[in-house]
Each structure stands twice: as structure tokens, then as C-alpha cells.
Amino acid sequence: MSKIIATSAIKGSYKILKRAEKSLKECIKKHGQDQKIEFPNTGYYLPVIYSMTGIKVEKLSDAAGVLEEAKKLLPSVPSGKVWIPYLGGALDAGIATLWAEEIIEAIKYIDGPLPNNGIWLGAATDVILRERGIEFVDGSAPGFAACVGACKENKTAVKVARELQGKNIYVFMSASTDGKSMAEQLVEEGVELGWGTRLVPYGKDITATVYAAGFAARVALSFGGVQPGDFRKMLLYNKDRVFAFVLALGEVDEEKYANAAGAINFGFPTIADTQIPEILPRGVCTYEHVVSNISDDEIVSKAIEIRGLKVTIDKVDVPVAFGPAFEGERVRKENTYVEFGGNKSEAVEFLSMAGSSEVEDGKIEVFGPEVDDVKEVGSALPLGIFVQVYGRKMEEDFEPVMERQIHYFLNYPSGVFHMGQRDIPWLRFSKDAVKSGFKIKHIGTVLHAKMHSQFANIMDKVQIKIYTNPEDVIALKKKAREVFKARDERLGALTDESVDTFYSCTLCQSFAPNHVCAVSPERPGLCGAYNWLDCKASYEINPTGPNQPIKKSETLDENLGVWKGINDFVYKASHQTLESFSAYSMIINPMTSCGCFEVIVTILPSINGVMAVNREYPGMTPSGMKFSTMAGMVGGGIQTPGFIGISKFFIGSKKFIKADGGLKRLAWMPKELKEEIRDLLEARAKEMGIEDFLDKVATEEEAETEEEVLEWIQKVNHPVLKMEPMI
């Protein structure tokens, strides 16, 4: 009966609030109420509190204010007889619990024990949020499982984790049962934890459970365009779009119930492996709220069903676990059985279309030594991967699109690591993978299966030749390089003017419902993951999918980059929220952003120029805002004149804020970004006839404030000084 749940949750929330009060009191006593309090590297403060109340907890005194509000949310414990309705009160108590837990965890960053210590990771930075958030957007991660407590046995923990990984679901771990946490169980079994493997150990304390809620809150703020303080929208966004749930593993104590009540507010149900009361009617969650006594074998599939989620996974016949969850798995040198490329040996991967008679579907050949022939464990072999595809709808333009997928596909098998592309790939097979029976030929198995599942519409047959002897690899490399060169030239010749069709990208509408990208040859998608060719291929693959051709039709403004056809499409696809946008301006109707942008460009008014900051950069920028703060303003499909979210490569495009003066406006960017795209920018500067331009762009080493940027540009005589006013 759910009265027991409500009673326990309310009691648990009293306990956690008491803890928070005590801990805050001691902290204030020690450091004074003006002591700074924060989670590391985030622009979202204490994110559950910030998203729900709009309150920026920056000092202990702010936290004290929030705690007072939290206390007001606590209802009385339901009476034994003639009780008054308890569901609403228990849900409120759940929220109060989360607020208190954020305060408890944040105080740990001041007085310790540090939440990030040992195997524990503590709060996720905004860099992680943005990297991982994209996976929630594009569907490679449908949601997360907040695993609270521990399984009955270590091997059950491994099984549950692997099953969730196999379904691409993030595993967030916190709290303990009988002194043990699921994360510790996994470590004991030698499972690699971390954001890369989607097995995220937040903390052993029950209060660390709040990091999962904080992650969800930040997803809504950064991708959903939810404004801080709009608690209802934030929670409903999560209910509708973030497919998360709580797995209550082992005994559920009062504090765990309190967290479950908090999670229900987000639409995240609780599924327990023990016999606890249930709440089956739906309404706050999409389906059941609490379901109990589910066996270890069923718990993952049951949880997915209760959350209302459908996960489709490809079956790939390899002897190791397989899926995007293993993408981030590292294979350390000491764990390496054999490696390929990466300056240790010759390596190349090349995909090319061929005639029907030349391609025998599913044919996988290995020319040269197999893993069994490796004499010395840890040594390198040469590797040439030659993928030949035939399809009635196949086009040469799709070759690079498909080829680039090799990188992702070959990271999916557990124990295989892949980096780079074209003639600079680097692969490692782990000892465990080889021990499980993974062979070089399985590269072919993976590529064959994944190419078919991803590109079924444009491709009918695929065969893979794998070379592991030096001569064949060198020969393949030579042949491939000629094609690579020709491809680059063709891509270089593609301009916005040379085509009559752009492509839309509404991939992110699952998260940012009003956002639509218009991808042109010279303006790739703002996430950097989709260029014009990718979109074209994607359309062929799935004609009703998120990438649709848009006829430019009549040019309304050549300078700003405004076309009638594009406007019409954007108006419709943005659900009538955007009437017009210009491709080449950040001032007049700039393109909107979902939240996945690699870089934000914003005006520095006193400089008459702009700055660019990449999402990896955690520091303060001359605009007076960190990336995260700006991201909140730019994301969610809203036009924000003076701000645009773009891909890194777009900075080097001829069309980069062309109408506003182009690359010459750029006055500041982080050093890391500058170095990453240096070649591209230098080439573009050369084209513009200002070869020393890049040296005139300040980085954090030269300037940290707008004033310092001004001093700098005057010192180096930046071209922006001679330009017309931007606005």
C-alpha cells in the first residue's frame, strides 16, 4: 500500500533535511555565511535547485535560504487513522530531499570528504554534460538508470550493468546496501567504470543520488530551452523526453524512499528488486510509479517497459559485448593483446562503391596473420580495411559518410579501441577480448552488420577485405590516398551557391522541439557531426527521417543568406515559432540552436568584434560569462541576436558571419580551440590576405576580460579596428 511509501519517504526527507541543516550549520560556523559553495565547473550552480527555483546558490547563506524553503515543503507524516491525502505531500518531500542533498554534496566540496575520490566521480562538469547530452539527443543513449544500493551478488551487478550498457542506457550509481554499492561490486569484478563506459559511480552516500537528478535538470536547461525557475516545464520535459528510471537494489530505507519520491516528480519510476509496496496507477509518471519484487533477470527489461521506452538494438555476432556504451572504453597498453596503426604500424581504412558483380555480400576475408599468429603480446600488426559496397541507390558522395562510421562501429565491441580515420587509424584489441575469442575477422563481422542496419536504404551488399601484411596495406593506402584527395577537392568545390538544395536537421527535436538546423555545403550542423553530405546520405537512407531536402528557391537576401524556401520550411518545422533566419548573420535573425553546438560565438560590444568559445573550455570568457551560462541563452531553439551556436569548422568557412564582417571580427578564442583548428583558420586567413591574422586573435593567455581584449587588439592592430560598427 502506498501509504507506507509516502510515510517512509516523508520520514526520510525529514532525516535528510536534518542532515543538511547540521552540515550547513557547521560549515557556516567554520567558514562564515559568505563562504563560496558550488559544484565544480558548471554554470548551473546547484542544478536541481537552480532549475526549479531560479536561485543561484553561490554562498552558504544562499543555501540556508533554500533549506528554509525546503523545510516548508515537508508535510506531516500521514496519521494512522483519518489520514489526509499523502501523495502530493510525499512528492513535495521528495523535492525537498533533492534540494537538501545538493547542499550536503556541495558542502562536501568545501569540507570533504571530496565527492570525487577513489572510484567515485561526484558532480559531472558541464563539459561532460554537453558531450553526453548529445547522446541523449541523437538517441545513442535513450536514458539513464539511477541504480541505488547494491545487488545481492557481484555477478548480478555485472549482469545488470552489462544489460543496461547493451541497451545503451547510462548507469548512474549511488548509495549502498549493507555497506556495499553497486559500483564497488563492479570494480571488484574488474569492470571499467567512468563516463566513457556509461557506468558512472556518483558516490556511496545516498545523497549522491541527487547528481542523477541534477544531470536531468541540466539536460532540460541546456537542451530543452527551459528557463531556470520554470519547475513545471523542467519536470515535464524530463517526464516526456528523458527516459530515466530508478533501480532500487536491496533494502529500501526511508532515505531511499525520499529519493524515489523526488525522482517521481521527474517522471522517473522506481523499480525494486525487493518486496516493497507498489504504486501502480499512473499520471505523475507515464506508467507505474513504483513496481517491486522484480527478479534480477527481468529487472532491466521491466524497468524499460515501465518507463515506456523502446530500445532497438542490433544483434552483431561477435564473442564480446557490443554497443555504443563501450565506445568510451579504453584499452590500456598493459591490457593490449595486439594493436594496429597509431604510428606503430601501417594502417588505413577505405570504403568504396563497386559493381554488383564485384561485391559478394557478407564475404569477409583476412589476408595475413590473425590474432592467433601474434607472437608477442602487445605488439603491432599492419592493418588495411577495405570495405566495398554495392547499392542501387549508392552514390560516390556517400562513400566518405559511410567510411567515417567505421570509427564508431569499431568502438562498439567491448575490448576494442579505435581512433582516427582514413590513413591514420589506431586500433587496439584487449587481452580480454582476444581471450573471449575476438579475432581480426570480427572487424568484418561488425562492419557488415552495422553497415546493413544503418545504410539499408542505399546499400544492398557489402564485403570486407582485411589486410594484415605490410605490402597489401601499403598498396591499399596508396590507392586510398588518391581517392581521399579527389574527395577533398570535390568537397572544397561545393559551395552554398553551387547547390539548389540544403538539408534540414531536426534530429534534436526529441530534446529541443522547436529547433531546426539548415545545413548547407558551407555551414555544417552546429554539432559538427552532420555536414551537407551526411544529411544528403541520411535523407536517402531514411526519406521520412530528420534530414529533409529543402529547396532554397527565391533568394531574399544574398548577403544575409535568406532564402524563401528555407524560411518556409523553418517556419513549419519550428512549429511556427521562427519566421525567418539568416545563414550568414549572428545579428539579424540568427539560426537557433538545440544545445549541441561545439562553439558559441558572441559579440564583444566595446571591441566591435566577436569571441568564440568551445564547450570544453571551463573558464570565464571576456563576455563575462562561462560557456554554460551562454549555452543557457542560446539553446532550446530560441533566436538570440548576438549569439550563435556553431560547429568548430564553421569558423573557417567563407560564410562564417559573412554578413557581419566574417572571420576578421574574431578577437578572442581559447588557446585549445585555436590550436585545434589552426590549419583551417590559417588557410582561410591566407585566402583573405591577412596571413598573420591568427596571431592577432587573443586567447586566455593574452586577455581574460573585454577590457583586456580591447587593449590587446589595439596593441596588435587587429583588423577589427578598421571595420564598420557591427550593429
Query: Rule CB under 8 A: which of 509-538 touch another protein?
Result: 509-510, 513-514
Query: Rule CB under 8 A: which of 540-599 touch another protein?
Result: 546, 575
Residue 265, CA distances (Å) to 75, 239, 245, 305, 415 in order: 16, 8, 12, 19, 38
By C-beta, is 43 or 142 nearer to another protein?
A: 142
280 lies in the site for another protein, by CB under 8 A: yes
Minimum Å gap between C-beta 343 and another protein is 38
54 contact partners, CB below 8 Å, separation of at least 6: 227, 228, 229
429: burial class by Cβ within 10 Å (0-12, 13-18, 19+)? buried
Total residues binding another protein (CB under 8 A): 57
Q: Helices 126-138 and 210-223, interaxial angle, to 10°?
A: 70
- Of 306-314, 445-453, 483-491, 708-716: span binding another protein (CB under 8 A): 306-314
265 lies in the site for another protein, by CB under 8 A: yes
Query: Rule CB under 8 A: which of 73-92 touch another protein?
Result: 73, 78-79, 81-92
Closest-CA residue to 209 (of 164, 166, 244, 169): 244
Closest-CA residue to 7 (of 589, 319, 15): 15
507 lies in the site for another protein, by CB under 8 A: yes
233 lies in the site for another protein, by CB under 8 A: yes
- Of 58-66, 119-127, 361-369, 507-515: span binding another protein (CB under 8 A): 507-515
- Of 278-286, 561-569, 671-679, 706-714: span binding another protein (CB under 8 A): 278-286
145 lies in the site for another protein, by CB under 8 A: no
Residue at grid coordinates 542560446: 634
Minimum Å gap between C-beta 291 and another protein is 13
Closest-CA residue to 426 (of 440, 407, 441): 407
Minimum Å gap between C-beta 519 and another protein is 17
Whole-number Å distance between alpha carbons of 313 and 310: 10
Q: Which amino acid is at 303?
A: A
Among 112, 178, 232, 315, which residue interacts with another protein (rule: CB under 8 A)?
A: 232
Q: Which amino acid is at 457?
A: N
Closest-CA residue to 195 (of 45, 325, 39): 325
243 lies in the site for another protein, by CB under 8 A: yes
Among 58, 131, 305, 557, which residue interacts with another protein (rule: CB under 8 A)?
A: 305
414 lies in the site for another protein, by CB under 8 A: no
Whole-number Å distance between alpha carbons of 504 and 24: 50
- Of 135-143, 380-388, 401-409, 591-599: span binding another protein (CB under 8 A): 135-143
Instruction: Kindly write out the interface string for residues 57-76 of this chain, putting x where it contacts another protein by CB under 8 A and - elsewhere.
Output: ----------------x---
> What stretches of 119-184 adopt beta strand conformation (E)?
144-149, 170-174
Whole-number Å distance between alpha carbons of 284 and 266: 8
Minimum Å gap between C-beta 573 and another protein is 11
Closest-CA residue to 520 (of 546, 490, 560, 549): 549
Minimum Å gap between C-beta 503 and another protein is 16
Binding positions for another protein, rule: CB under 8 A? 1-3, 6, 52, 73, 78-79, 81-92, 94-95, 138-139, 142, 231-233, 235-237, 240-241, 243, 265, 279-284, 287, 289, 305, 308-312, 506-507, 509-510, 513-514, 546, 575
